[in-house]
A and B are shown apart, each in its own frame.
Chain A
Amino acid sequence: MSDVVVAIEDLHVAFSTPRGEVRALRGVSLEVRAGRMVCLIGESGSGKSVTGRALMGLLPAHSARIGPGSMRLHQEELLGKSESAMRSIRGRRIAMIFQDPSRALNPTRRIGDQVGEAIKIHFPDRRASAVRAKVLEHLDSVKLPDAARVAKKYPHELSGGMRQRVAIAMALSAEPEVLVADEPTTALDVTTQVQILDLLRSLQRSRDMSVLLITHDMGVAAHYADDVAVMYAGRVVERAPAAELFADVEMPYTQALLESLPSARAGRGALQTIPGGPPDLALGISGCAFAPRCRFVTSQCKQQPVTREVAGDHVFECWHPVGKESR
């Protein structure tokens, strides 16, 4: 496929912890194409955030072992790049927004300073007045009323939703081509969530930017994603363009996630939940990690399922797919 901006292939990440080695990513493969919003969805601990931080080169250097695998930005391999080489990419080519805007902003620096920081880092020749103009432009672009006034404020003087808008302006200030948004609305109330996601999508479209939106909410994915990648226990178990995926789910885990959506059970009985919990990544996993919780499990599932492709770009790994096209 052409115009792939970010390509992650068979990426492994392990953390050394007091409990032993935790294999957080066990061969993640993922593509983000130009101008697309990709939702990376999964339960807590499935490795979505680790994937995002690995792409930013922000995993803790002393406890994380990164690789084998590959992460490419266009054709450029990011894995193994030096810290200083990653710094010139961070904020400038790939930027990130975080879950909790109240902790993401420095409480003792003015909003304007914080939004201008990435501009000053990546365009050191720019004059102070030009930086300031850019800051105001970016604050305007995230629909903050009276940008000049907001720029002079401190984070504690803003509401949660406004802070997340500031965080978005901050991430986009040096005009990156890829934005990693790690659960950007989880800490916000429901109405604010919708506003922030709508804003993200409109910015993504107007700037023709690629967004990797990390979420645990299938409803968000169904509403906003161009492409969806489902993570489970450190692997992407199914990925496809959103329309294709929701028309024809193959992986039982994806199906279970969809069934647990409140809207999918409208008028029916109790909320569907997936029995059991995700496996302990400190222990070795062989075969399909979802098998212990799966309705369709057989002895074959003790072996790692081969990756299969149906239709265009619809990839999954399962011995017993539930979709139409695989049968």
Chain B
Amino acid sequence: MRYLVLRAAQLVVVVFGVTVVSFVLLHLLPGDVTTTVLGEGASPEAKAALRAELGLDDPLLSRYWEWLTSAMRGDLGDSLTMGYPVTELIRLRLPVTLELAVVTLSASVLLAIPTALVAARFRNRWQDKVLSMGAYAGIAAPPFLAGILLIYVFSVKLGWLPATGWNPWSEGLVAHVRTLVMPVASLLFVEAAIFMRVLRSDLVAQLSDEEYPLVARAKGATMRSVMIRHVLRNSLLPFVTIVGLQFGVLLGGAVIVEHLFALPGLGELLVSSIYQRDATTVQGIVMFIAIAFVLINALVDLLYRFIDPRVKQHG
């Protein structure tokens, strides 16, 4: 109970802080949304009229208060440039980003766990060196580079996959997967490499600092069983933490990949709204991601309790 109260308090503080900062920053940016809506050649009078209509001339504090109070009621306002409600825009864009993030993270985790187990089991031997080198390459290579490479090979040269675009589920599984594969693949290696490095170092620490792996071997257990049944679970806390953090990052930060593959995702919407000074859309997305971040972290905390019985109920 105390835990829930603490979490709720955290949620309020984080969301409040993030929205205030983004509101102020957006205000400080030169240029405004009227240029986007009316075009470069619009007369100052027309711009002033639109500004007045949108309420952009009101004091900053009162604008924020107005936004905040309606946000509390679930109304994030209308997009300044598109006229649609921001909640509707998020609802349209979220599935793409969410699917990209979930599929990428699941695939990365599935790739990271076995490679980390092998690397830790054979630490400092050739298996570890090959896998670690691969991981460093994955971390060092930016996703857009992998994306361009993938597009070049699979779209330009082989012609197997569409270079850009997004087929929703409604167009059939195969068509859908064909547009999902390359964006996932270009994010996969970085994510898997990060997870693998984190997990490997904790596995190695368990093996060298703790005695229970040796005790399990003294019972006659194979190294394979020692790694999977004993060491893995004890090394999972930092791992689930970083997976949770990367989930939050991918929700808003897969911008480059969304852009490269022309995916109608949340990150892409966020960046274009910033360019267009579409304050309400930016605010809405920022708040949404902040809430998602806090909720994911709460989920990770909950997972801790399943993984390690020593983690007690506290804030």
Contact = CB atoms under 8 A, between A and B. Distances in A.
Interface of A: 56, 58, 62, 87-92, 95-96, 98, 100, 103-109, 117-118, 121-122, 154, 156, 167, 170-171, 174
Interface in B162-221: 210-212, 214-221
B310 A104 contact: no
Contacts of B233: 108-109
A108 B221 contact: no
B302 to A, nearest CB: 16
A159 to B, nearest CB: 15
A105 B212 CA distance: 5
A98 B219 contact: no
14 contacts: A89-B220, A91-B219, A91-B220, A95-B218, A95-B219, A96-B218, A104-B212, A106-B216, A107-B310, A108-B233, A117-B221, A121-B219, A156-B310, A174-B219
Contact of A58 (B212, B214, B229, B234): B214
A87 B230 CA distance: 17
Given A156-B309, A167-B215, A170-B215, A107 B220 contact: no
Given A98-B215, A104-B215, A92 B220 contact: yes
A106 B229 CA distance: 10
Given A98-B211, A103-B210, A117 B308 contact: no
Contacts, number: 74
B230 A109 contact: yes
B70 interface: no
Contacts of A56: 218
B230 A104 contact: no
A20 B307 CA distance: 42
A87 B307 CA distance: 29
Contacts of A104: 211-212, 215
A95 B214 CA distance: 12
Given A103-B211, A105-B212, A106-B234, A154 B219 contact: no
Given A109-B230, A154-B310, A122 B220 contact: yes
A105 B211 CA distance: 8
A72 to B, nearest CB: 19
Given A98-B211, A103-B211, A117-B221, A108 B216 contact: no
A174 B308 CA distance: 28
B308 A107 contact: yes
Contacts of B310: 107, 154, 156
Contact of A108 (B211, B222, B307): B307
Interface in B273-315: 307-310
A87 B224 CA distance: 12
Contact of A118 (B211, B219, B229): B219
A108 B310 CA distance: 8
A108 B218 contact: no
A105 B213 CA distance: 9
Given A107-B234, A107-B308, A88 B212 contact: no
Given A107-B234, A108-B307, A117 B219 contact: yes
A157 to B, nearest CB: 8
Contacts of B210: 103
Contact of A170 (B211, B214, B219): B219
Nearest to A105: B212
